Amino acid sequence: MDWATPQAIFDELDHGEYQFHFDLDACATKESAKCKNFIGPDQDALSMDWPGKSVFMNPPYGREVKKWIQKAYDESQKGKLVVCLLAARTDTTWFHDICAKGEIRFFKGRIKFDGKNSAPFPSMIVIFRPKVI
């Protein structure tokens, strides 16, 4: 369920072509955190307000993923930029109901999460921009 984000992908999003300058990793462990500030498994990230203005999220890829994507979208409606690294499951309701509200970028090929073996699924980035008030 947990696929640690490859550093090169995070770096490209954070200060490469996209320059999102993340200040929070919303789904991390101490070992996998990509930002100084992160929400770990000992916290209830789905029920708390996420601090920060630019948030990176690579959620657990299990049955609960829809809740994580909905939370990411909800946080964007509170004024945050939220960028999600997700499995490209275009046949799911969460893709059509939630991801379609954001900007979607598909990866060419498959990500090597462990640096060696390609993931058994295609991946995408979904960008939820802050709601303009």
Q: Are 72 and 36 in contact (CB under 8 A)?
A: no
* pLDDT at residue 132, as a whole number: 74
Please give the pLDDT value at position 1.
55
Helices (H), ranges, the chain:
7-15, 65-76, 93-97
pLDDT score recorded for residue 118: 84
pTM: 0.93
According to DSSP, residue 11 is labeled H
Confidence of residue 34 (pLDDT cuts 50, 70, 90): very high
Tens-digit pLDDT profile for residues 72-107 = 999 999 999 999 999 999 999 999 999 999 999 999
Residues 6+ apart with CB under 8 A from 28: 34, 35, 38, 39, 40, 58
Is residue 113 predicted with pLDDT exceeding 90?
no
pLDDT for position 4: 86
In the chain, domain spans: 7-40+50-128
Question: Which pLDDT band, with edges at 50, 70 and 90, does 2 fall under?
Answer: low
- Report the SS3 class of residue 109: coil
pLDDT confidence of residue 9: 94
| Mean pLDDT of all residues belonging to the chain | 93
Nearest-CA neighbor of 94 among 63, 129, 49? 63
